[in-house]
Structure 1
Amino acid sequence: MVSWIVSRVVVLVFGTLYPAYYSYKAVRTKNVKEYVRWMMYWIVFALYTVVETITDLSLAWFPLYYELKVAFVIWLLSPYTRGASLIYRKFLHPLLASREQEIDDYIVQAKERSYETMVNFGRQGLTIAATAAVTAAVKTNHM
Protein backbone atom coordinates (compact mmCIF):
# COMPACT_ATOMS: atom_id res chain seq x y z
CA MET A 1 0.00 0.00 0.00
CA VAL A 2 2.84 2.39 0.86
CA SER A 3 4.47 1.73 -2.53
CA TRP A 4 1.20 2.59 -4.26
CA ILE A 5 0.86 5.88 -2.38
CA VAL A 6 4.47 6.88 -2.99
CA SER A 7 4.25 6.02 -6.69
CA ARG A 8 0.99 8.01 -7.06
CA VAL A 9 2.54 11.05 -5.38
CA VAL A 10 5.72 10.83 -7.46
CA VAL A 11 3.81 10.36 -10.72
CA LEU A 12 1.46 13.23 -9.91
CA VAL A 13 4.19 15.63 -8.82
CA PHE A 14 6.98 14.70 -11.22
CA GLY A 15 4.89 13.29 -14.05
CA THR A 16 2.22 15.98 -14.08
CA LEU A 17 2.90 19.12 -12.01
CA TYR A 18 6.58 19.55 -12.87
CA PRO A 19 6.00 19.16 -16.64
CA ALA A 20 2.90 21.38 -16.46
CA TYR A 21 4.94 24.16 -14.88
CA TYR A 22 7.72 23.85 -17.46
CA SER A 23 5.12 23.73 -20.24
CA TYR A 24 3.75 27.00 -18.87
CA LYS A 25 7.26 28.48 -18.91
CA ALA A 26 7.74 27.37 -22.52
CA VAL A 27 4.48 29.04 -23.50
CA ARG A 28 5.29 32.19 -21.53
CA THR A 29 8.75 32.57 -23.06
CA LYS A 30 7.57 31.42 -26.52
CA ASN A 31 10.54 29.03 -26.69
CA VAL A 32 9.69 26.78 -29.66
CA LYS A 33 12.33 24.19 -28.77
CA GLU A 34 10.78 23.80 -25.31
CA TYR A 35 7.26 23.75 -26.83
CA VAL A 36 8.28 20.76 -28.94
CA ARG A 37 10.00 19.03 -26.02
CA TRP A 38 6.97 19.35 -23.76
CA MET A 39 4.44 18.46 -26.48
CA MET A 40 6.37 15.23 -27.11
CA TYR A 41 6.37 14.59 -23.36
CA TRP A 42 2.59 15.09 -23.03
CA ILE A 43 1.89 12.78 -25.97
CA VAL A 44 4.04 10.05 -24.43
CA PHE A 45 2.60 10.70 -20.97
CA ALA A 46 -0.94 10.35 -22.31
CA LEU A 47 -0.03 6.93 -23.70
CA TYR A 48 1.69 6.06 -20.41
CA THR A 49 -1.50 6.98 -18.53
CA VAL A 50 -3.59 4.65 -20.70
CA VAL A 51 -1.11 1.79 -20.34
CA GLU A 52 -0.73 2.43 -16.60
CA THR A 53 -4.49 2.18 -16.08
CA ILE A 54 -4.53 -1.24 -17.71
CA THR A 55 -1.35 -2.52 -16.07
CA ASP A 56 -2.45 -1.32 -12.62
CA LEU A 57 -5.34 -3.76 -12.90
CA SER A 58 -3.25 -6.68 -14.11
CA LEU A 59 0.36 -6.26 -12.94
CA ALA A 60 0.18 -4.53 -9.56
CA TRP A 61 1.13 -7.83 -7.89
CA PHE A 62 4.48 -7.86 -9.73
CA PRO A 63 7.44 -7.25 -7.36
CA LEU A 64 8.81 -3.70 -7.65
CA TYR A 65 5.94 -2.74 -10.00
CA TYR A 66 5.40 0.67 -8.38
CA GLU A 67 9.11 1.37 -8.14
CA LEU A 68 9.45 0.62 -11.87
CA LYS A 69 6.63 3.07 -12.64
CA VAL A 70 8.40 5.80 -10.67
CA ALA A 71 11.72 5.07 -12.40
CA PHE A 72 10.00 5.12 -15.81
CA VAL A 73 8.40 8.53 -15.21
CA ILE A 74 11.72 9.96 -14.03
CA TRP A 75 13.40 8.44 -17.11
CA LEU A 76 10.77 10.09 -19.35
CA LEU A 77 11.47 13.49 -17.77
CA SER A 78 15.21 13.40 -17.39
CA PRO A 79 17.08 15.91 -19.56
CA TYR A 80 19.94 13.39 -19.65
CA THR A 81 17.98 10.42 -20.96
CA ARG A 82 15.32 12.39 -22.88
CA GLY A 83 13.13 9.31 -22.56
CA ALA A 84 9.92 10.96 -23.76
CA SER A 85 11.65 12.36 -26.86
CA LEU A 86 13.18 8.98 -27.60
CA ILE A 87 9.86 7.12 -27.34
CA TYR A 88 8.08 9.79 -29.35
CA ARG A 89 10.63 9.93 -32.17
CA LYS A 90 11.35 6.19 -32.44
CA PHE A 91 7.85 4.78 -31.96
CA LEU A 92 4.94 7.18 -31.60
CA HIS A 93 5.65 9.64 -34.39
CA PRO A 94 6.10 6.93 -37.05
CA LEU A 95 3.01 5.08 -35.77
CA LEU A 96 0.83 8.19 -35.64
CA ALA A 97 2.06 9.41 -39.02
CA SER A 98 1.24 6.09 -40.67
CA ARG A 99 -2.24 5.94 -39.08
CA GLU A 100 -3.11 9.64 -39.08
CA GLN A 101 -5.88 9.48 -41.69
CA GLU A 102 -7.51 6.46 -40.01
CA ILE A 103 -7.41 8.21 -36.64
CA ASP A 104 -8.85 11.42 -38.12
CA ASP A 105 -11.66 9.47 -39.80
CA TYR A 106 -12.44 7.65 -36.56
CA ILE A 107 -12.59 10.93 -34.62
CA VAL A 108 -14.98 12.45 -37.16
CA GLN A 109 -17.21 9.36 -36.96
CA ALA A 110 -17.11 9.41 -33.16
CA LYS A 111 -18.10 13.09 -33.10
CA GLU A 112 -21.01 12.41 -35.44
CA ARG A 113 -22.15 9.41 -33.39
CA SER A 114 -21.84 11.31 -30.12
CA TYR A 115 -23.95 14.18 -31.51
CA GLU A 116 -26.62 11.74 -32.70
CA THR A 117 -26.53 9.94 -29.35
CA MET A 118 -26.95 13.20 -27.42
CA VAL A 119 -29.90 14.22 -29.62
CA ASN A 120 -31.54 10.81 -29.03
CA PHE A 121 -30.94 11.06 -25.26
CA GLY A 122 -32.44 14.55 -25.34
CA ARG A 123 -35.53 13.29 -27.15
CA GLN A 124 -35.90 10.38 -24.74
CA GLY A 125 -35.49 12.73 -21.78
CA LEU A 126 -38.18 15.06 -23.12
CA THR A 127 -40.51 12.12 -23.73
CA ILE A 128 -39.99 10.84 -20.18
CA ALA A 129 -40.49 14.33 -18.73
CA ALA A 130 -43.66 14.86 -20.77
CA THR A 131 -45.02 11.46 -19.73
CA ALA A 132 -44.26 12.20 -16.08
CA ALA A 133 -45.95 15.61 -16.32
CA VAL A 134 -49.07 14.14 -17.94
CA THR A 135 -49.18 11.32 -15.36
CA ALA A 136 -48.85 13.84 -12.51
CA ALA A 137 -51.56 16.04 -14.02
CA VAL A 138 -53.94 13.09 -14.43
CA LYS A 139 -53.33 11.95 -10.83
CA THR A 140 -53.94 15.48 -9.55
CA ASN A 141 -57.25 15.76 -11.45
CA HIS A 142 -58.49 12.38 -10.13
CA MET A 143 -57.94 13.29 -6.50
Structure 2
Amino acid sequence: MVSWILSRVVVKWMMYWIIFALFTTAETFTDIFLPWLPFYYELKMAFVLWLLCPYTRGAGLLYRRFVHPTLARNEKEIDSCIVQAKERSCEAVLRFGRRGLNMAAMAAVQAAAKVRPPPIP
Protein backbone atom coordinates (compact mmCIF):
# COMPACT_ATOMS: atom_id res chain seq x y z
CA MET A 1 0.00 0.00 0.00
CA VAL A 2 2.73 2.44 0.98
CA SER A 3 4.87 1.53 -2.04
CA TRP A 4 1.89 2.10 -4.35
CA ILE A 5 1.29 5.58 -2.92
CA LEU A 6 4.98 6.38 -3.06
CA SER A 7 5.24 5.24 -6.69
CA ARG A 8 2.26 7.41 -7.68
CA VAL A 9 3.85 10.47 -6.07
CA VAL A 10 7.21 9.78 -7.71
CA VAL A 11 5.60 9.39 -11.15
CA LYS A 12 3.69 12.66 -10.78
CA TRP A 13 6.84 14.52 -9.76
CA MET A 14 8.83 12.94 -12.59
CA MET A 15 6.21 14.12 -15.09
CA TYR A 16 6.36 17.61 -13.60
CA TRP A 17 10.16 17.82 -13.68
CA ILE A 18 10.36 16.56 -17.26
CA ILE A 19 7.84 19.16 -18.40
CA PHE A 20 9.55 21.84 -16.32
CA ALA A 21 12.91 20.98 -17.89
CA LEU A 22 11.39 21.34 -21.36
CA PHE A 23 9.81 24.64 -20.29
CA THR A 24 13.15 25.91 -18.98
CA THR A 25 14.84 24.97 -22.25
CA ALA A 26 12.20 26.77 -24.28
CA GLU A 27 12.34 29.71 -21.88
CA THR A 28 16.01 30.21 -22.70
CA PHE A 29 15.07 31.09 -26.26
CA THR A 30 11.78 32.86 -25.62
CA ASP A 31 13.42 35.19 -23.10
CA ILE A 32 15.56 36.53 -25.93
CA PHE A 33 12.71 37.25 -28.35
CA LEU A 34 9.47 37.69 -26.38
CA PRO A 35 10.00 39.77 -23.22
CA TRP A 36 8.53 42.81 -24.96
CA LEU A 37 5.08 41.16 -24.97
CA PRO A 38 2.70 42.58 -22.37
CA PHE A 39 2.32 40.34 -19.32
CA TYR A 40 5.03 37.98 -20.58
CA TYR A 41 6.49 37.28 -17.14
CA GLU A 42 3.05 37.01 -15.55
CA LEU A 43 2.05 34.45 -18.19
CA LYS A 44 5.19 32.43 -17.50
CA MET A 45 4.41 32.43 -13.78
CA ALA A 46 0.78 31.42 -14.43
CA PHE A 47 1.99 28.58 -16.67
CA VAL A 48 4.29 27.21 -13.95
CA LEU A 49 1.46 27.43 -11.41
CA TRP A 50 -0.82 25.62 -13.86
CA LEU A 51 1.82 22.88 -14.18
CA LEU A 52 2.08 22.51 -10.40
CA CYS A 53 -1.58 22.76 -9.42
CA PRO A 54 -3.02 19.35 -8.47
CA TYR A 55 -6.49 20.44 -9.61
CA THR A 56 -5.47 21.28 -13.18
CA ARG A 57 -2.83 18.52 -13.51
CA GLY A 58 -1.13 20.56 -16.20
CA ALA A 59 2.18 18.70 -16.14
CA GLY A 60 0.46 15.33 -16.40
CA LEU A 61 -1.71 16.53 -19.26
CA LEU A 62 1.25 17.85 -21.26
CA TYR A 63 3.33 14.77 -20.49
CA ARG A 64 0.63 12.32 -21.58
CA ARG A 65 -0.35 14.28 -24.67
CA PHE A 66 3.09 15.22 -26.06
CA VAL A 67 6.11 13.74 -24.26
CA HIS A 68 5.03 10.14 -23.72
CA PRO A 69 3.91 9.53 -27.33
CA THR A 70 7.20 11.00 -28.58
CA LEU A 71 9.21 8.79 -26.24
CA ALA A 72 7.19 5.71 -27.18
CA ARG A 73 7.61 6.43 -30.89
CA ASN A 74 11.41 6.78 -30.56
CA GLU A 75 11.99 4.09 -27.93
CA LYS A 76 14.27 1.90 -30.08
CA GLU A 77 16.54 4.81 -31.04
CA ILE A 78 16.71 5.97 -27.42
CA ASP A 79 17.62 2.47 -26.23
CA SER A 80 20.36 2.12 -28.85
CA CYS A 81 21.80 5.52 -27.89
CA ILE A 82 21.86 4.47 -24.24
CA VAL A 83 23.69 1.23 -25.11
CA GLN A 84 26.22 3.16 -27.23
CA ALA A 85 26.76 5.71 -24.47
CA LYS A 86 27.34 2.90 -21.97
CA GLU A 87 29.91 1.22 -24.23
CA ARG A 88 31.69 4.48 -24.96
CA SER A 89 31.78 5.47 -21.30
CA CYS A 90 33.34 2.12 -20.32
CA GLU A 91 35.97 2.54 -23.03
CA ALA A 92 36.69 6.11 -21.93
CA VAL A 93 37.08 5.10 -18.28
CA LEU A 94 39.50 2.34 -19.22
CA ARG A 95 41.48 4.63 -21.54
CA PHE A 96 41.76 7.43 -18.97
CA GLY A 97 42.54 4.90 -16.24
CA ARG A 98 45.43 3.49 -18.26
CA ARG A 99 46.68 6.98 -19.04
CA GLY A 100 46.50 7.92 -15.35
CA LEU A 101 48.38 4.80 -14.27
CA ASN A 102 51.08 5.44 -16.90
CA MET A 103 51.48 9.04 -15.72
CA ALA A 104 51.69 7.93 -12.08
CA ALA A 105 54.28 5.30 -12.95
CA MET A 106 56.36 7.82 -14.91
CA ALA A 107 56.14 10.32 -12.06
CA ALA A 108 57.29 7.65 -9.59
CA VAL A 109 60.24 6.68 -11.82
CA GLN A 110 61.24 10.33 -12.28
CA ALA A 111 60.99 10.98 -8.57
CA ALA A 112 63.10 7.91 -7.83
CA ALA A 113 65.69 9.02 -10.37
CA LYS A 114 66.00 12.44 -8.77
CA VAL A 115 66.71 11.08 -5.31
CA ARG A 116 70.46 10.78 -4.83
CA PRO A 117 71.96 8.47 -2.30
CA PRO A 118 73.93 10.12 0.50
CA PRO A 119 77.68 10.33 -0.10
CA ILE A 120 79.77 7.49 1.32
CA PRO A 121 82.39 8.72 3.85
- The structure 1 residue matched to 2:16, chosen from 31, 41, 61, is 41
For residues 35-73 of structure 1, the C-alpha deviation after alignment (integer angstroms, 9 at most, x for no partner) is: 543342233234335x16x707x6398356654443322
Of the structure 1 ranges 100-109 and 75-84, higher mean CA displacement relative to structure 2 is found in 75-84
Which position in structure 2 is the counterpart of 1:30? 4
Structure with more contact order per residue of length (Cα contacts < 8 Å, sep ≥ 6): 1
AA partner of residue 70 (structure 2): L
Of structures 1 and 2, the larger Rg is shown by 2
- 8 Å contact kept, 1:75–1:81: yes
Structure with the higher helix share, 1 or 2: 1
TM-score, with structure 2 as normaliser:
0.73
Long gaps (5+) in structure 2: none
Equivalent residues, number: 115
Long gaps (5+) in structure 1: 1-26
* Residue 55 (structure 1) aligned with residue 24 (structure 2): no
Residue 82 of structure 1, CA deviation:
1.6
Residue 75 of structure 1, CA deviation:
1.3
Which position in structure 1 is the counterpart of 2:77? 102
Which position in structure 2 is the counterpart of 1:133? 108
TM-score, with structure 1 as normaliser:
0.63
Which position in structure 1 is the counterpart of 2:97? 122
Residue 141 of structure 1, CA deviation:
3.0
Cα distance change, pair 107–137 in 1 and its aligned pair in 2 (3 A): same
CA RMSD after TM alignment: 3.2
Q: Once the two structures are aligned, what percentage of the paired residues are identical?
A: 55
